[in-house]
Amino acid sequence: MVTLKYTEPELKWQIDNISCQTAVSLETEPLTSEPGFVLWQKDIPKEYWSLGGKELVDRINAAKAALGSRLVILGHHYQREDIIQFADFKGDSFKLAQWAAQRPEAEYIVFCGVHFMAEAADILSGPHQKVVLPNMAAGCTMADMAEPDDVLDCWAQLGEIGLADATVPVTYMNSTASLKAFCGCNDGIVCTSSNAGAVLKWAFAKRERVLFFPDQHLGRNTGAKMGIPLDQMLVWDPDQRLGGHTAEELVGARIILWRGWCSVHMRFTVEQVGAARAKYPGVKVLVHPECTYEVVQAADLNGSTEFIARTIAEAPPGSAWAVGTEINLVSRLARENPDKLVFCLDPVVCPCSTMYRIHPAYLCWVLEELAHGRLVNHLVVEPETARWAKIALERMLEVR
Ligand code: 13P
Ligand code: SF4
């Protein structure tokens, strides 16, 4: 197996940024007890800061009932248990984007997920629909790794060496709306982890090379699945001229991978796969394609959060599953499939700390405001950005 090397800044970043903030539970602690609250949206009124447990549940249900069919709550699979219980519809980022594009009836779409997902919902939904993100600080550290200026600079440098015209820009859904717009106006496209293979096929039918951002791992794993050799997939370092390569090296690249990654999925290792197999002979290892190439190669299966949930739901009773993805989803799958053994590949369990920022106090606040006819945390993508981003998103929705 080819061993890939990660740069020192990548490894240091992970060590600095990985710290478990929570235990997975249905019990809601008040905002003031959450260690992460210092980084969350602060202008939530103080009356919500000390609410916990049953009071929040009752108030959220009352606000939902008051809003009736005018409201739909969408929930990504990584949402905490005390949030997902209120979701009218749950799914992976692709399914939730599809939902937003196809359901004009809901006036308010309250998106329990992260910022880029809510942006996509705003872009794909109708002008009469309002998208609300309960906590505006619920971002995605991977999406933040592709700064629009750095991507534009990369594109300009590829242009200088005559490669931009032969390259299709492909952005993972986990990116800002402005990068989706960049793809829309440069004959590019968006992909999610559930359709990355089909999207790359679409891109290679148009041009010989792909610039893939921000997740190098999804790009590499998808390219490898299509048979592209690892040495034809180069990582672009935005801090170096030509991403750290010579023009000749870039000419030979089929995929130029942005230097981005997900800290949650970088926790999974080949050693953990070995340990799971040693402890539970016959176990199937199922991981998200944001994991490293080595982990994906060592696993039995990989796919989006929806694929992971479906695979386990359809598995025979008595089967065992070691799962490499975010812990809220793994714990839920374990609970929903009591006839199977489902456990997290990583014994030191961490949730996605930004998904976790959708705390029930925020959901309660935005719903009560809506019930009183006031719109807070209304997420609106600037119209010109939305116009171009929609082109790239709609291309994705059409790809089969
Ligand atoms: P999915 O597209 O599989 O839902 O994953 C989104 C995500 O952020 C994974 O880290
Ligand atoms: Fe972003 Fe990783 Fe969290 Fe997914 S799990 S939202 S990629 S930080």
The CA R_g of the chain, rounded to the nearest whole Å, is 21
The pLDDT of residue 6: 37
Which atom of ligand 2 is nearest the CA belonging to 78? Answer: 5
DSSP E strand stretches across 224-270: 233-236, 255-258
With 60 as the cut, is the pLDDT of residue 1 above it?
A: no
With a CB cutoff of 8 Å and minimum separation 6, the contacts of 341 are 280, 283, 319, 320, 321
- 74-to-84, 89, 138, 222, 334 alpha-carbon distances in Å: 9, 5, 15, 28, 22
Hey, which of 74, 77, 92, 311 would you mutate to test ligand 1's pocket, going by the most ligand atoms within 8 Å of its Cβ?
92
Q: Residue 132's domain spans which residues?
A: 34-139+355-382
Q: Are residues 274 and 227 in the same domain?
A: no
Spatial separation of the C-alpha atoms in residues 231 and 253, rounded to whole Å: 8
Q: Are residues 74 and 152 in the same domain?
A: no
Q: Are residues 303 and 366 in the same domain?
A: no
pLDDT band at 26 (very low <50, low <70, confident <90, very high): low
Mean pLDDT of 19-39: 74
Tokens of 365: 């606040």
Task: Report the 3 state secondary structure along 85-118.
Answer: CCCCEEECHHHHHHHHHHCCCCCEEEEECCHHHH
Instruction: Please tell me the distance between residue 23's alpha carbon and the centre of ligand 2 in angstroms.
Output: 18
Atom 2 of ligand 2, nearest CA residue: 262
79 lines ligand 1 (CB under 6 A): no
Instruction: Please tell me the distance between residue 265's alpha carbon and the centre of ligand 2 in angstroms.
Output: 8
Domain C-terminal end among 200, 226, 261? 261
Atom 3 of ligand 2, nearest CA residue: 352
- Nearest C-alpha neighbor of 311 from the set 321, 299, 297: 321
Triad 32, 33, 35: Cα angle to 5°: 100
Strand-strand pairing, 255-258 and 301-302? unpaired
354 lines ligand 1 (CB under 6 A): no
Hey, which of 90, 171, 192, 261 would you mutate to test ligand 1's pocket, going by the most ligand atoms within 8 Å of its Cβ?
192
Domain containing residue 156: CATH number? 3.40.50.10800
Which uninterrupted H or E stretch holds 132? strand 130-132
The pLDDT of residue 18: 37
Atom 4 of ligand 1, nearest CA residue: 92
392 domain residue, yes or no: no
Spatial separation of the C-alpha atoms in residues 139 and 151, rounded to whole Å: 19
Please classify residue 307 by burial: count the beta carbons closer than 10 Å to its beta carbon, then call 0-12 exposed, 13-18 middle and 19+ buried.
Answer: middle
212 domain residue, yes or no: yes
Which atom of ligand 1 is nearest the CA belonging to 326? Answer: 10
Q: Are residues 223 and 246 in the same domain?
A: yes
The mean pLDDT of the chain is: 93
Domain C-terminal end among 261, 288, 318? 261
Q: Are residues 272 and 337 in the same domain?
A: yes
Domain count, the chain: 3
Q: Are residues 147 and 254 in the same domain?
A: yes
27 domain residue, yes or no: no
Q: Are residues 328 and 255 in the same domain?
A: no
Per-residue pLDDT of 292-302, as tens digits, reads 999 999 999 99
The pLDDT of residue 159: 98
pLDDT band at 347 (very low <50, low <70, confident <90, very high): confident
With 70 as the cut, is the pLDDT of residue 335 above it?
A: yes
Q: Are residues 222 and 242 in the same domain?
A: yes
Atom 1 of ligand 2, nearest CA residue: 140
Per-residue pLDDT of 210-263, as tens digits, reads 999 999 999 999 999 999 999 999 999 999 999 999 999 999 999 999 999 999
Reduced to 3 states (helix: H, G, I; strand: E, B; else coil), residue 188 is: coil
The pLDDT of residue 25: 58
Q: Are residues 178 and 98 in the same domain?
A: no
> Could you please report the per-residue DSSP string of 189-200?
EEE-TTTHHHHH
Atom 3 of ligand 1, nearest CA residue: 304
243 domain residue, yes or no: yes
DSSP annotation of 316: P
Rounded to two decimals, what is the model's pTM?
A: 0.93
279 domain residue, yes or no: yes
Q: Is the dihedral of CA 378, 123, 193, 265 positive or negative?
A: negative
296 domain residue, yes or no: yes
Do residues 262 and 142 lie in contact, with contact meaning Cβ atoms separated by under 8 Å?
Answer: yes
